[in-house]
Amino acid sequence: MILSKLAAASLMLAVATGPESEAPARHLSLHQKNAATQVYVRGATDCIARTVSADARFRRDDPTDKLGDLIVDAVPRCLAPVHAMIEAYDRYFGDGAGEEFFMGPYLDVLPGALLKRIKADTQ
């Protein structure tokens, strides 16, 4: 359910922003590309974590309750950093890599990363 809602949001994002005009950074190593994109991943994750934890429906006593719905509702509020992350992946790894990363590995680990980040922020 979370995947289908976020897929729709990412398609709207792709249509709204158009193609990236900057050429991919092919001369960088895989390690350098991963390091360069981490700042964008962190920015998107921080925004989503702040939005989720500020939501009145978020329960600190049971943070996993409705977490998927909270993430889905947070993504539209964090379009700028999410878009920057997708663009960075496209720039460093080639066209389409950003959406593939967002819809796959990023969303797979996002709930756990958010719980970890929110827990660290409250201690």
Q: What is the pLDDT of residues 10-56, one digit of tens each?
A: 545 554 455 544 445 778 999 999 999 999 999 999 999 999 999 99
Q: What is the pLDDT of residue 96?
A: 96
User: Please, which pLDDT band fits residue 6 given cuts at 50, 70 and 90?
Assistant: low
Q: What is the pLDDT of residue 40?
A: 98
**CA–CA distances in Å: residue 30 to residues 25, 52, 86:** 10, 32, 17
Q: What is the pLDDT of residue 61?
A: 86
SS3 category, 22: coil
End-to-end CA distance of the chain: 31
Read off the pLDDT of each residue in 69-79 and give the average, rounded to a whole number.
97
Q: What is the pLDDT of residue 60?
A: 84
